[in-house]
Each structure stands twice: as C-alpha cells, then as structure tokens.
A and B are shown apart, each in its own frame.
Chain A
Amino acid sequence: MKVAVISTDAILRKRMAGAIADAGFKTLTASDLAGFTAILISAAPDVIVVDWRLTEAVMQKLRSAPRQSYVIATQAQWSAEDITAAYARGVHDFVKHSATNAELIGRVTGYRRMEAWARATTASSNDLTSVDLSRIRAWRELAAIVGTDLGEMFGLSFAPTSVDSYNVAFASKIALTLATDRVEVQLAIGIDSAAAVHIGQTLIGDTSTEALADALREMANTAGGAMKRAALLEGLTFTLGLPENDGQFSSHETRHHMRTPDGLSIVVATTVRSIAPKTISAEALREGMVIARDLKNTGGILLAAAGTYLTSSTAERLSRIAGPSRLVEISVAAAA
C-alpha cells in the first residue's frame, strides 16, 4: 500500500511519514501541490494524508485522476463545521496533528477496512446497481456524527477508539430507506451500562429501563437525522423510519466504538441491505411505510412521490383518496 503525505510543515511531514514508513508502508512526501501532482502521476497512492488547507486543491486533482485514493485530512484542531466541510469535499477521514502514531496508522489502514466493507456490501447487495453505496461512507461518517454533534447536544465528549470488545447494555436502531433504489441502511447505537447510568442520572434524571430505552431511541433518531443530511451531500435522499429498541445489536455488519475521557462507551453500528418492495392495498397503508413507486390517481395526478414516508395521518389520507382497493408499492421501513 502506497501512502502520500502532503504538508507544507516539514516537521509534521517528516514525523507522519516516518511513522507510516515504520509501519511498513511505502511512503512518499510532498510539500506543495506541484509535488503532489508528481506523486499522483508517478505513484498513484492508495492513501493520501494531506494538510486541511490543501484538501480542496488535492480533491480537485483527484477528481480527474484515473484511480481514486483514500484521503485523510489533517489539521491542529477539528471543529464540527470543519468535519462537515471535509466530508462535503470528499475527504474520507480526518486526523489531528497531535494524533499518536498508533492512531495515525489506525486511520491509514481505514482504507483497507473501507475496501473490505465495500466488497462485503457489493457481495451481499448485488442487485443495487444504481447506487454506489460506498459513497455514503456510512461507518466513518457516523463515527464523526456521534462523536461531535451528539456529544455536543448531550454534553458528552466521545472520541473514536480502537477497542474491539464491548458490552452493550441498551441499543436502539433506526432505518434509513432509499425507497427509489430499494436500499436500507440500518443504523444502531448501543451504550454500555456505565453510559446508561450516566445518561439516566445526568441527562434525564431517571434510570428506569423504560426511560433509558426512550433516551437511546431518541439518540438513534437524532443520529439517523444527521446521517440523512450527510447523505444528502452525496445526492442520496433517505427517508427516516421510526427508532426502536434493537435486540440484535451484535448482528450489524460494521461497528465503531467510541469512549468519553471518563470511560463511557458508545458503539455505532450499521447494516446496509437491499429491500424488496411489497404491493399492498391502500387501506393497509400505515405509519412507517415508505412509498416505493410514484402513486398517481386515475387522472395521472401525483398523490405521493416515491420515497414519501407515511405518518399516521398521511397514511389515512392516502388510503381515503386512493381508494381501499388501489394497490400501492411500498418499501417497509424498520418500524413498520
């Protein structure tokens, strides 16, 4: 695997390139865009670690390159706005200048995990021809979302860790449906018992099982909304289902583990799968279902566009307008 380190800072460049080379990767360095262009033409790096200030120019070069690279942006501090902007530019991951060598290598090898994830997804969803699922970059995107947005909202500071084992006490899931392309991303959030107690005591003043399950469902809902907006940046319009408790947390394909400095643990997990649409009568429409194909009346007037998520009132209204015997093609969201 070839890794290019692009930075105007000679000390940083040398330290990062040294750590990557010590880990056994072929390393190339450049201090400016001209140097990067030379590397791109001669070596086609698999991974590029690049100064945040240079990312825009680098991404522009990469867009016309014959082979795509995994891009990690680096700067001293990352704000939530920077992270969002980085993803919008097409960056795959980000790292602070102060990251330890172990973290840096962990992120560089994210390229291999991404490749494995894309292969697994492709193999299990071979009918998803119209959507390049790797574009939504779900696992890393969600790690950032939970680590920044959710953390800020709930006053907790989560940071990704490389811990492999975890013990989830509560978990909730939510489905994001791309009805027009028959794709569903199932997002789940799990917390350990210490995090559950902390959330119960400090955030809601109630540690009952019911209150904690409600809190987790709302966290899943919030993360789902954030992911939906992240996917919009990629031109994918998902419909959000309803959150529910997840009894099958361990079955999700990809998991990302984060901890607070106090040791509270949260795991974000995702599964991407194809969904088969169903045809039902309009009178059976109910909340949580998603219209899979444009529904029109006999005069050709659109009643509900593909991708419409049904609330209880819209389901009732459609059922009435379309007539009970009318057949409707739906994708069933998780909660339905």
Chain B
Amino acid sequence: MSKKILIADDSMLIRRQVTAALTAAGYVVVEAVDGEDARQKLTPDLTLIVCDLNMPRMNGLELLEKLHADASMSHVPFVMLTTEARPGIYEKAKMLGAKAWLIKPFKPDLLLAAVDRLVPR
C-alpha cells in the first residue's frame, strides 16, 4: 500500500512542487492550505508530515505542538520546510519532536532523501 504524506503550506506553488516530487517517488500526498486545515486532515494512516512554518490560522510550530500533545499522532515524523533558520525556532521545533528542518529554496531530491530516510520501512 502506498504511504501517505501530508504537506501543509499556504503557497500553492510549494504544495505542487512537493506533491510532484513525492508522487513521482510513489507516495500518496494530501495537501493542506494551513496548519488548521492540516489538523483537520490528520489521520492515523499518515506516515509523515511536511509543513511550512509561517502560515495563516495555525503556523507550523503550533501544529507541531498539537501533534506533540496527541499520543495517537506524536509518532508521525514531522519535517519543517521553511525560509526561517532562526536558532530559537529551530531548537523549539526539535524539542517538540521535528525530525528534519529543510530550508527553502529546497532541491526536490534533498526533500525526497529526507522523506525516504524518515518514512518507516
């Protein structure tokens, strides 16, 4: 069965870029337009979440906090994909369980390498 990944980003361009890279590698991708939309699309069969940091309604850190507090979802690997690189935010995300921090502009093959490394076999 194909593995399902959630991409949360308020930019359609980024969602399409990520979706194209991951579907070409055989993943099923669900798109969310912000953190709140992503929260509503959390399902037990998700294998990984790729998430922007700055988004309307609910940002990436707030979504990560909710996942961290949810025992049924806290095991899902979380990849932050953002232009931000401030150490304070990076450390907070790490503390909340983020497994990778990718900086935009990203190379699709690097994203794929990070995802392949984190998705459970």
Contacts and interface: CB of A to CB of B under 8 A. Distances in A.
A312 B103 CA distance: 22
Given A150-B105, A203-B17, A222-B105, A228 B59 contact: no
Contacts of B84: 225, 240
A311 B105 contact: no
A224 interface: yes
Secondary structure dominating the interface of B: loop
Contacts of A203: 13, 16-17
B13 A229 contact: no
A152 B16 contact: no
A311 B82 CA distance: 15
Contact of B11 (A150, A206, A217, A311): A217
B105 A149 contact: yes
Nearest to B16: A204
Size category of the binding interface on chain B: 20 to 34
Given A153-B107, A204-B16, A226-B105, A218 B59 contact: no
Residue of B82, B83, B85, B108 ringed by the most chain A CB atoms within 10 A: B83
B91 interface: no
Contacts of B59: 311, 313
A199 B14 CA distance: 12
B16 A205 contact: yes
Q: Which of the listed residues A149, A222, A229, A240 has the most CB atoms from chain B within 10 Å of its own CB?
A: A222
Interface string B50-77: 0000101001001000000000000000
A221 interface: yes
A217 B105 CA distance: 13
Contact of A311 (B54, B103, B106, B108): B54
Interface residues of A, number: 31
A332 interface: no
Given A214-B12, A225-B103, A313-B59, A154 B83 contact: no
B75 to A, nearest CB: 26
Contacts of A199: 13
A223 B83 CA distance: 9
Nearest to A312: B56
A112 B13 CA distance: 38
Contacts of B82: 225
A215 B83 contact: no
Contacts of A206: 12
Interface string B77-116: 0000011110000000000000000011111100000000
Contacts of A211: 12
A206 B16 CA distance: 11
A219 interface: yes
B10 to A, nearest CB: 9
B101 to A, nearest CB: 13
A149 B105 CA distance: 6
Given A149-B105, A153-B17, A204-B12, 7 more contacts: A203-B16, A219-B13, A222-B104, A226-B83, A226-B104, A312-B56, A313-B59
Interface of B: 11-14, 16-17, 54, 56, 59, 62, 82-85, 103-108
